[in-house]
Amino acid sequence: MDEILDGLTQIDCDILVIGGGTAGPMAALKAKRKNPEANVVLLDKANVKRSGAISMGMDGLNNSVIPGYATPEQYTKEITIANDGICDQAAVYRYAQECYGIIQELDEFGIRFQKDQNGEYDVKKVHHIGTYVLPMPNGDTVKKALYRQLRKARINIINRFMATRLLTGEGRVAGAICVNTRTAEFLVVRAKAVIMGLGAAGRLGLPTSGYLYGTYENASNSGEGYAMAYHAGAGLANLECYQINPLIKDYNGPACAYVAGPMGGYTANAKGERFIECDYWSGQMMQEFFDELQGGKGPVYLKLNHLAEETIAEIERVLHIVERPTRGHFHEGRGTDYRKQMIEMHISEIGFCSGHSASGVFVDEHARTTIPGLYAAGDMANVPHNYMLGAFTNGAFAGLDAADFINDVDYASFDEGEVEAERTRVLAPTKREDGIPPNQIEYKTRRLVNDYLQPPKVTAKMELAQQRFEEVREDMETGMYARDAHELMRALEASTILDCAEMAASASMFRTESRWGLYHNRVEYERDDDNWFCHTILTKGADGQPVHKKQDVKPYVVEIAEDEKDAYYKQRVDPSSVAAE
């Protein structure tokens, strides 16, 4: 294994789904069910059984909109406010209307949602103002249940192939070029429609541990979706709205306000005092977190040691079994116990991920990108705060729309020369006698991201970043060296990460205001609603460099009252009221 082989195969399919994590499998299933005659291929860089952000499972739904307990209108309003108003509501609203159907479908797949002792959905945390959390007691079986459905539907699955570039022609998508991660053999897939569900750009910033793979996101999510969309000419929205999360320091897993919050856990400063009232992840919350650290009141902690033993045991049960089960190992190794001490938290490295922010490949309420026949869903598409259920639901929208799209089109013709050019680009690191290994290219890129792009954002620093990225690119294109197929995969990822880093810098320079709290805190600029109440759209220019434009936010479907708009601004605890539980 890993020896570089010469190989090239071309296959045809109606719908190519790239990414077998969360959105991809649902897209493939929906397309196949709607159009059983369609040849649907699901391709993954890893193995569909355990790929993507929910590799080990998920502890619950953060954004379920269940009739009788929350309304699509209320949900749309909340998400709009949490995104500082910059949100095309149609996609959010459609999600909110249809996600309950997806919950029921997941339930039929065998993914169970919490029920009470009479077998009814457990809505105890839910009241009619709208709460959206629905725990999943067997959330560790999500991937298994999905895989079972894929096999039953006889979806064609291709594992261990990494898509590197999309093919386009006749003004629409034509397919994708892929390379095997264990043999470096090539696969060209001609497709009438392509659905991308490639996850977040999780390896953009460098974790403070310095370990390249110690990221918040699944480290295999290295941003290929963003890079491929960019090189194909699709629009990417609001990339300056970074993902930054409050995490357990070093472990880099979520502190999980959703689990611990309703049970009385909270974020505290070094004195054990609460300083933010709401642990919902927002840019403003992260700004308060940052300010507390800068103000010398840190470190910041997750505080649970005031809670009853039964409550802590329950929190441990959820946090240590599902989603990131090594978390128990981590605390054990450190000798830290929720009962005895507070757990140190910190600010994560930056990334792109719409699961918790608003950036990504621009899509509408059908998951269509700006390129006909090309769809995107999940963490890489710009439907804000969509989490796991959003990936499932928007993936479903993509699959349903693509199933219709292929009825009216044949394969788009593309320039055969592109395949040869891509083979040359991809294989270049394997043709050298020696050179710079991919991990050093990646480390340097990501270290520069931390040094110059991590907010607060400063223009002069971002300009320096751009210069330095260019130098790294030169080194990468002329000197990167891969000894086997596995290293070649890392080399391709390094290239993707550099693309994303350049997009992050460029998008941040374009929006000359501050917005979304810490996510886009530009120290030289105040918030400017008059000029910047808009999306920013980044595309690849004729010279190969990013170009930017403003795009109007579509008229709201659900109006937001003036006094509701600031719902996420004021979060700091009034010092006169001392929190105690």
Partner 1 sequence: MPLAQTATTVPVVVDDDLCIADKGCTVCVDVCPLDVLRIAVKDDGTKTAYMKYDECWYCMPCEADCPTDAVTVNLPYLLK
Partner 2 sequence: MIPTVTELFEDFDDISDLAEGLDDPSPGARIMAVIELADSADPAAIPHLARAITDVDASVRKQAAQALTDFDGPDTAAALVSVLKDPEPSVIEAAAISLTELKDPTSGNAILPHLDDEDEVKLAACLAGIKELRRPEALGPAINALQHRSTTVRVQAVGVIGWLQDEAALPALREAAKDADKLVRRTALAALGFSNSEHAEATLVNGLVDSEWMVRESAAETLAKTGGASCVEALRIALDDEFWQVRLKAVRSLGRLGATDAALQIAPMMDIPVPNLRKECAAVLGELAVPETAQFLEKYADDADPDVRKNVRWALEKLAA
Straight-line distance from the first to the last Cα atom of the chain, in angstroms, rounded to the nearest whole number:
57
Shortest CB 481 distance to partner 1, Å:
8
What is d(CA 441, CA 438) in angstroms, rounded to the nearest whole number? Answer: 5
Q: Which residues of 303-337 are buried (b: 16+ CB within 10 A; e: fewer)?
A: bbbbbeeebbeebbebbbbbbbeebeebbeeeeee
Q: Which of 153, 219, 458, 462 binds partner 1 (CB under 8 A)?
A: 219
Candidate list 220, 238, 359, 369; residue touching partner 1; CB under 8 A: 220
Q: Does residue 310 belong to the site contacting partner 2 (CB under 8 A)?
A: yes
Give the one entry of partner 2, partner 1, none that residue 453 binds, where binding means its C-beta sits below a cut-off of 5 to 8 angstroms depending on kind.
none
Single out the segment in contact with partner 1 by CB under 8 A; choices: 102-110, 212-220, 461-469, 571-579.
Answer: 212-220
Q: Which stretch binds partner 2 (CB under 8 A): 4-12, 29-37, 63-71, 499-507?
A: 4-12
- What would the two tokens of residue 83 be? 């995104």
Contact status: 569 vs partner 1 (CB under 8 A): no
User: What is the C-alpha separation between 70 and 127, in angstroms, rounded?
Assistant: 8
Q: Which of 117, 340, 410, 434 binds partner 2 (CB under 8 A)?
A: 117
238 binds, among partner 1, partner 2, none (CB under 5 to 8 A by kind): none
Q: What string marks each residue from 245 to 284 as x (binds partner 1 by CB under 8 A) or -? A: -----xxx--------------------------------
- Nearest Cα neighbor of 501 from 426, 440, 443 is 443
Site for partner 1 in 487-526 (CB under 8 A): 489-490
According to DSSP H, which parts of 295-437 are helical? 309-321, 326-334, 387-405, 417-427
Residue from 210, 262, 295, 541 in contact with partner 2 (CB under 8 A): 262
Query: Closer to partner 2 at the Cβ: 119 or 417?
Result: 119
* Closer residue to partner 1, CB minimum distance, 215 or 359: 215
d(Cα 576, Cα 556) in Å, to the nearest integer?
A: 39
In 3D space, the residue among 96, 107, 94 whose CA is nearest the CA of residue 139 turns out to be 107
The residue from 36, 101, 104, 116 that contacts partner 2 (CB under 8 A) is 116
Strand order in the sheet with 534-540: 360-361, 236-237, 534-540, 546-552
Give the interface segment with partner 2, choosing from 155-163, 210-218, 428-436, 473-481 (CB under 8 A): 155-163
> CA torsion, points 209, 490, 355, 293, in degrees to nearest 10?
20
Number of shown-chain residues binding partner 1 (CB under 8 A): 43
Return the half-sphere exposure (C-beta side, CA atoms, 13 A cut-off) of residue 222: 25
CB-facing half-sphere around the CA of 443: CA atoms within 13 A:
10
Least distance between partner 1 and beta carbon 503 (Å): 24
3 near partner 1, rule: CB under 8 A: no
DSSP state of 350: P
Return the closest-CA partner of residue 10 out of 460, 420, 473, 424.
420
Using CB under 8 A as the binding rule, whether residue 47 contacts partner 1 is answered as: yes
At a CB cut-off of 8 Å and minimum separation 6, what does 181 contact?
Answer: 45, 160, 161, 162, 485, 486, 488, 489
Residues contributing to the site for partner 2 (CB under 8 A): 5-9, 11, 110, 116-119, 124, 127-129, 138, 141, 144, 147-149, 151-152, 154, 156-159, 180, 183, 185-187, 261-264, 266, 276-278, 280, 308, 310-311, 563-564, 567-568, 570-574, 577-581
Residues that bind partner 1 (CB under 8 A): 1-2, 46-47, 49-52, 55-56, 160, 181-182, 207, 209-215, 218-220, 250-252, 324-326, 329-330, 333-334, 434-437, 479, 481, 486, 489-490
